A and B are shown apart, each in its own frame.
Chain A
């Protein structure tokens, strides 16, 4: 991790119509950091990612990517800096997976261009790194949800961005696919990628990420290192329900996990 500031959000407010989704949010993300955003449904986690990516213009305040205002970026230039994997995604055409991954090269191509052999090799290399090379020739519409998520991550990496935004990368996925995705996010983070991801699973934060921000309906509740911030008090406040943290041991492995208290 270096001290270079990749994303800087200052006094940002965003509102749909009159009612602000959140107000006066400020945060900074340094190069190589892996930041998880936790918060209840509708608190504006995804909205914040959309603002950082520039697709939602702020009502007031500023967001800078690598020292430049996000709204000042040209679409192609921004796509070289920032990659964004959406949560919802529809795929009507049965392109092969590698074709989908190669689409990540778009910002590096001219208007009339199409990927060449080098781009294909890069796409394949990235798929290999993510452990999905065997899917290259498979129809994208016929692979599992977790595999599709990894293909989309691979496509985003193909953009060779400096910052990676992931919107709930593990939603709708079973355990195996969750593990597949998380393991790769961790690998990317270890390799120095700057990552901001939202999640509905506080437990995942202990597996992946060095920093966490908890959001409530009135903005940021807690922001800091995972071990400092992930407390019963903060989690309970964030979700508005008592949350207990358990420490467990299975064989030689120790782990923390939390659960809402139903009593």
Chain B
């Protein structure tokens, strides 16, 4: 039997060649490094490498670079590139998890109202002219609040049916979007209205070195949890009733997925504004490469998503003299790419 099994087990899963994986994994690191020296203030790549190595405790390199270069690399570009990678990986992963859980390829991480809620919180904070850190905290809290409302609205008897979640998410999103409009309407159009509008369009440039740790750590933790339960997503994607007969406590798994994705997307929106389409496009694209099995899909979305947002954010910085809001670019790129993927996959899954 064993010979036979080994022969056939090679066909068990859609195999992605090791080279594809190596490219997928290495690419975000290369792009990360590139984004540290690219910019209007060009820095020699070897200097960037030396600056980075110099940071390792115990290593001391005699500086061959200007102090400005060090500041630009470490305080501006490094946190920005880290954030871009995290945002890309986080949103893509959340999108893949939600699409599996909702059994629907059109679902985005924002489906439960997190972006509308966070936008509302941010708009309110900006209207009150609060300092940035407070705006971020309020936005984050409102994102969580919106999803909490969605979840409790969808809660029927001891369950939260998927359809109820989607519908409640629509209701909650609509309400918070109306609130955003109301705040915009009330805002002074010289100063605050543009601030709100630009904030909502999104930018990763606001993230400084000091913001990095408090936002990156919870995001990474949520991603680790999502990564750990990735095989269960396969079972959940067969439908809740089947998952239950297979011994999955669907309510618990759903709650874990909702909490982790909400943490990721609420942090993203509160720090960087609304970055759309990433959570739809990247999982779709990754399914084309590695197949639908979440065991491979989730890792793929991490690397491809990170690469994608690093590239997009670099475009935002470099294409014109004034920075382009990232939300515009992800939609301009995302919508046509998604249209292409839909055509190519004929509306299917891979």
Contacts and interface: CB of A to CB of B under 8 A. Distances in A.
Contacts of A145: none
A93 B241 contact: no
A128 B5 CA distance: 10
B295 interface: yes
Nearest to B11: A137
Interface string A90-114: 1111111011100110110101111
Contacts of A86: 241-242, 245
Contacts of A109: 231
Interface string A67-80: 00000000111111
Contacts of B5: 121, 124
Contact of A93 (B13, B245, B292): B292
A5 interface: no
Interface in B209-246: 228-232, 234-235, 237-239, 241-242, 244-246
B249 A103 contact: no
B12 A93 contact: no
Contacts of A104: 246
A62 B116 CA distance: 47
Interface in A120-139: 120-121, 124-125, 128, 133, 136-137
B248 interface: yes
B231 to A, nearest CB: 4
Contact of B12 (A83, A106, A114, A136): A136
Contacts of B103: 90, 92-93
B9 interface: yes
B8 A133 contact: yes
Interface in B151-169: none
Nearest to A107: B247
A22 interface: no
Contacts of A125: 1
Contacts of B8: 124, 133, 136-137
Interface of A: 53, 55, 75-80, 82-84, 86, 89-96, 98-100, 103-104, 106-107, 109, 111-115, 120-121, 124-125, 128, 133, 136-137, 155, 159
Lowest 5 A-B CB distances belong to which pairs? Answer: A137-B11, A79-B247, A107-B247, A114-B231, A76-B247
30 contacts: A55-B241, A55-B245, A75-B244, A76-B247, A76-B248, A76-B249, A91-B238, A92-B103, A92-B105, A92-B237, A93-B234, A94-B349, A94-B350, A96-B11, A96-B293, A98-B9, A98-B12, A103-B238, A103-B246, A107-B246, A112-B228, A112-B229, A115-B231, A120-B9, A121-B9, A124-B9, A133-B8, A136-B8, A137-B8, A137-B12
Interface of B: 1, 5, 8-9, 11-14, 100, 103-105, 228-232, 234-235, 237-239, 241-242, 244-249, 291-293, 295, 348-350
